[in-house]
Amino acid sequence: MRSFVDPDRTQFEAFKALDRDHPIEMLNLVKFRDMAEYPTGHDLAGAGLTGAQAYRNYGAETAPIIARLGASILWRGAFQTTLIGPQDEDWDEVFIARYPTAHTFLEMVTDPDYQVAVIHRQAAVATSRLIRCAPAKGGETFG
């Protein structure tokens, strides 16, 4: 399986080109490394943390940032199986984060405290999917 941890430049530019003045919801699918891979010289390099433990560090350090920005976790679930799609993909974390606007998301990823905290995510994640969605009205039917 190919690894996706951070957006590439083309993806990030496409994200920024979309309307930024409305709420967005980000579907997060995350697969952890067995063992976290911190860069050489980081305080936690060689600490023997699992990917899950490193991701918890990421969550703890980013929680005050997302709260300050008015973002939240809208929904969280436990992955069970894929009914339609690649059978070689399974996920350790599945959640939807809501941001008041795309500006808010961009503010988060450029925040100096976030820049320090994201090292835990990079150490923790083997691969992930981050899918931007515009909120839409729910209903009782498909389509």
Report how many domains make up the chain: 1
Prediction pTM value: 0.90
Q: What is the CATH number of the domain that holds 46?
A: 3.30.70.100
Asked if the structure places residue 11 within a domain, the reply is: no
Structural domain harbouring 48: 24-81+88-133
Quote the pLDDT of residue 18: 85
pLDDT tens, per residue, the chain with 143 residues: 578 887 888 988 888 888 899 999 999 999 999 999 999 999 999 999 999 999 999 999 999 999 999 999 999 999 999 999 999 999 999 999 999 999 999 999 999 999 999 999 999 999 999 999 999 988 888 87
User: Taking each helix axis from N to C terminus, what angle separates 102-110 and 9-17, rounded to the nearest 10 degrees?
Assistant: 140
Asked if the structure places residue 19 within a domain, the reply is: no
Beta strands in the chain (DSSP E): 24-32, 72-77, 93-99, 125-133
